[in-house]
Structure 1
Amino acid sequence: MEINVQTEKSIQIIDINGEVDGNTAPQVQAQIMKAAESNPRLVLDMSHVPYMSSAGLRMLLATYRNVVGHGGHVVLVGLVEEIKDTMEMTGFLDFFAHFDTLAEGLAALA
């Protein structure tokens, strides 16, 4: 699991690389929340996440509620089709603005 955080136009871009499951979800959430402390406008780049378990979905929802509860915004970009379908079927996708590309996600928060 590798997580890279960068800032562009006062928006935190969090690039998640690897599978998000019961073992890695706490690490991912900790990194996202650390980034949100300094700026709660987040784009989560999921284009390098090939698999997400139910623990990963719960982590995303908890992160969303925490960030939005503190006046922030969370946008997802680059969801692979399998994860997007799962999130759609379970209703998780209803919570998030989601876009195909990073440029679209950044534009949404600009």
Structure 2
Amino acid sequence: MEINTLTVEEVTLVELAGEVDRNTAPMVQEKILPLAQPGSKILLDLTKVPYMSSTGLRMLLLLYRQTHAQDGKLVLLGLSEEIQEIMSVTGFLDFFTTCNTLESGLEALK
């Protein structure tokens, strides 16, 4: 699992590469939960995430709750068709704003 964090136009862009499962989700959570600061704007790029287990989905929900508790915003970028379908069936998509391009993700956080 690769995790890269950078700042683009006052937005924290977190790029994940690899599968998010029970082995990697705790590491991802440890790296990105501290980013949920008061008023934070987080763009989570999942373009290079081919698979996400239920543990990964729980980690996303925890990040969502943490971000919103801090009056921040969270946008998911580049969900694979499989992950998007799983999130739709489970109702997770109701919680998240999703975008297909970096530009639309940055626009959604303005």
Considering the TM-score relative to the shorter chain, is it more than 0.5?
Answer: yes
Q: Residues 12 and 39 of structure 1 are in contact (CA less than 8 Å); yes or no, is this contact kept in structure 2?
A: no
Task: Give the CA deviation at 1:35.
Answer: 2.6
Tell me which residue corresponds to 1:62.
62
Percent identity at matched positions? 50
Secondary structure of 2:52 counterpart: coil
How many aligned residue pairs are there?
110
Aligned counterparts of 1:8 and 1:29: Cα–Cα separation in 2: 21
Task: Give the CA deviation at 1:17.
Answer: 0.5
Query: What runs of 5+ residues in structure 2 fail to find an aligned partner?
Result: none
Task: Give the CA deviation at 1:34.
Answer: 2.6
Q: Residues 37 and 70 of structure 2 are in contact (CA less than 8 Å); yes or no, is this contact kept in structure 1?
A: no
Aligned counterparts of 1:68 and 1:55: Cα–Cα separation in 2: 20
4+ long deviations beyond 6 Å: none
Tell me which residue corresponds to 1:7.
7
Question: What RMSD, in angstroms, separates the aligned Cα atoms of the two structures?
Answer: 1.2
Query: What runs of 5+ residues in structure 1 fail to find an aligned partner?
Result: none
TM-score with structure 2 length normalisation?
Answer: 0.95
- Using the TM superposition, name which of 24-33 and 55-64 deviates more: 24-33
TM-score with structure 1 length normalisation?
Answer: 0.95
